[in-house]
Structure 1
Amino acid sequence: MIDLVIDQRRKDLGGFEVGRVLPYAKRRMVGPFVFFDHMGPVDFEAGFPKTVDVRPHPHIGLSTVTYLFDGEITHRDSVGAIQPIHPGEVNWMTAGSGITHSERFDTLRRTGGRMHGIQAWVALPTELEEMAPSFANHGPDDLPTYEGGGMWARLIAGKAFGAAAKVATHSPMFYVHWRLDAGAQAQLPAEYPERAAYVAQGSVEVDGRTLSAGQMAVFAPGDAITFTAQTDAVVMLLGGEPLGPRFIEWNFVSSSKDRLEQAKADWRAGRMKLPDADHDEWIPLPEPPPPANPMS
């Protein structure tokens, strides 16, 4: 059954919009997933400004998971990776003790075209929060697919439906891309205690309720969940074993508030290495708002 429905909150990043779903006030995490953004869709005209690019910025204590439906993004990071990602691939970057990266739209700037995808953050287990940073790109051959009964499915990461993706994860989890034809039925089994489904396109009926594009349903544990597509639909399934609470500030995730303060100080002081190809610009640490004037 549905425990909670979360509506995306749209935010303009200075050239394209994202729909923020996680974290949410009433549900900070689903399994290890601590962040979930729906990027676009946006149709770029060739020659759009470089200010749309995401300049270098830091992370600790998490893995970023980038997955595209349309377009291309070039990833650059401080461990030396320069990797374009295309639809149907996964860019999995583990920040661990600290990494910096940028996201560039060089190809779309030359050609124009649509950009549409999901970026998620997966928290690391407490004992691995300070592991060495790393990056990997995985193509379709590493991601099992299934087709039948009006459904097409790709396992992006983790284990589910009797399959395992060739993506190195650090805690029990699953992340799945479904395409459903109108009228098709599909089921999410009860193998993980924390599960959610995000409707990226179209609408589906679940538990007697219609879920539309931009909505995430978080499910109570213990029962399989049946989906019926009311239109052609794209649904992202996610969840896993809970890791315990995490603190989030800006791009940093940790089980320790003190570690967040250290990361902020390191970034502010320039102690975190920038990507080699991006050494001349970065996103500064956002300053907190000034305290309220007690006389106002």
Structure 2
Amino acid sequence: MLDIVIEARQAAIAPGMEVRRILPFRLRRMVGPFIFMDHAGPVDVQPSQAKSMDVLPHPHIGLSTVSYLFGGNVMHRDSLGVEQIIRPGEVNWMTAGRGIAHSERFEDPAALAGGNLEMIQTWVALPEKDEEAMPAFNNYKPDVLPIFTDTGVWMRLIAGNAYGLNSSVKTHSPLFYLHVVLEKGARFGLPKEHSERGFYIVKGNIEVAGRAYVAGQMLVFTKGVDPLIIATEPTTLMMLGGEPLGERHIWWNFVSSRKERIEEAKADWKAGRILLPPSDNHEFVPLPEDKSRPASSPPPQALS
């Protein structure tokens, strides 16, 4: 059966950048190992306003950030010294592990032309054994990601395994992450390989069991249920899920299985023990001062 419908909420991650936040949700913190999901754009601003959208250097621990674009491009810089432009169809997979800082800059005026910039950001929590791993970064081009087509259906497997396909993107636990495009009238189902499964409607409308659902909603299903998804107009979905990892605490940009590790990360960022990107170290996002919230209830996060 349908477990829950999550409505995306508006959130601001930078002065000029608002997003629709899907995860975490108070009644559903995670879907498999996915603990965070933001949908940014389409962004329609003047190129002169691009700098106001920049996400300044900020830290992460205990997770992997996953950036996926539908349009435009973004410059990623991190404390490993990586500088990478991410373009549509590519996957930026950054594993924070014990601690990393990165920025996202909108430096190409053409990327904002005509409301072209649109992206999905997710965080994947790490298994306990990998929470303190060395930070790492990988960029995967579209030609290494499996694609499946059928009548009215186009699908790219971003990460993990689904429908008998396997992605070369390195992950730390069993999961799936898919970009699916459906023509009007197309029918599709969720992969059966994983315990927890859901999908977010990026655009379009669908029906499941005779009920209509619209863009901005995420549907999460209980184990063993195989819903038939019918597109009632051209529709784009992001499907995700996998095996649960157990309880995770999230505060700002920090994720951990241990509350005390969140407190350590706060102190490390304030003390400068998490290094800034070497080519983007003149400004950063300060630690939010919000003593009223426990470590399991986050203030607004950065985009990734």
TM-score range, shorter chain: over 0.9
Partner in structure 2 of residue 294 of structure 1: none
2:258 is the counterpart of 1:248: no
- Compared CA separation, residues 109 and 272, structure 1 to 2 (3 A): farther
2:149 is the counterpart of 1:142: no
Distance in 1 (alpha carbons) for counterparts of 2:76 and 2:50: 18
Distance in 2 (alpha carbons) for counterparts of 1:137 and 1:8: 28
Q: What is the TM-score normalised by the length of structure 1? A: 0.95
1:58–1:98 contact (8 Å) kept in structure 2: yes
| SS at structure 2 position matched to 1:47 | helix
1:48–1:109 contact (8 Å) kept in structure 2: no
2:3–2:221 contact (8 Å) kept in structure 1: yes
Partner in structure 1 of residue 299 of structure 2: none
1:197 to 189, 196, 199: 199
Partner in structure 2 of residue 262 of structure 1: 264
Shift of 1:190: 2.2
Letter aligned with residue 185 of structure 1:
R
Distance in 2 (alpha carbons) for counterparts of 1:234 and 1:281: 36
Distance in 1 (alpha carbons) for counterparts of 2:110 and 2:260: 40
Distance in 1 (alpha carbons) for counterparts of 2:109 and 2:215: 25
- Compared CA separation, residues 109 and 265, structure 1 to 2 (3 A): farther
Q: What is the TM-score normalised by the length of structure 2? A: 0.93
2:201–2:238 contact (8 Å) kept in structure 1: yes
Identical-residue share of aligned pairs (%): 54
- Compared CA separation, residues 290 and 195, structure 1 to 2 (3 A): closer
- Per mean C-alpha deviation after superposition, the further-off stretch among 6-15 and 148-157 is 6-15
Distance in 2 (alpha carbons) for counterparts of 1:198 and 1:244: 22
Distance in 2 (alpha carbons) for counterparts of 1:43 and 1:194: 35
- Per mean C-alpha deviation after superposition, the further-off stretch among 221-230 and 82-91 is 221-230
Shift of 1:187: 1.4
Partner in structure 1 of residue 69 of structure 2: 68
Partner in structure 2 of residue 182 of structure 1: 184
Shift of 1:289: 5.4
Shift of 1:270: 1.1
Give the paired residue count. Answer: 291
Distance in 2 (alpha carbons) for counterparts of 1:225 and 1:93: 32
Shift of 1:189: 2.9
Shift of 1:170: 0.3
Distance in 2 (alpha carbons) for counterparts of 1:234 and 1:121: 20
Distance in 1 (alpha carbons) for counterparts of 2:283 and 2:104: 13
Distance in 2 (alpha carbons) for counterparts of 1:72 and 1:238: 23
Letter aligned with residue 207 of structure 1:
A
Partner in structure 1 of residue 20 of structure 2: 19
Distance in 2 (alpha carbons) for counterparts of 1:117 and 1:183: 26
Partner in structure 1 of residue 123 of structure 2: 121
| SS at structure 2 position matched to 1:261 | helix
2:72–2:111 contact (8 Å) kept in structure 1: no
Task: List runs of 5+ in structure 2 lacking aligned partners.
Answer: 294-304
- Compared CA separation, residues 98 and 82, structure 1 to 2 (3 A): same
- Compared CA separation, residues 110 and 254, structure 1 to 2 (3 A): closer
Shift of 1:41: 1.4
2:194 is the counterpart of 1:230: no
Partner in structure 1 of residue 89 of structure 2: 88
Task: List runs of 5+ in structure 1 lacking aligned partners.
Answer: 292-296
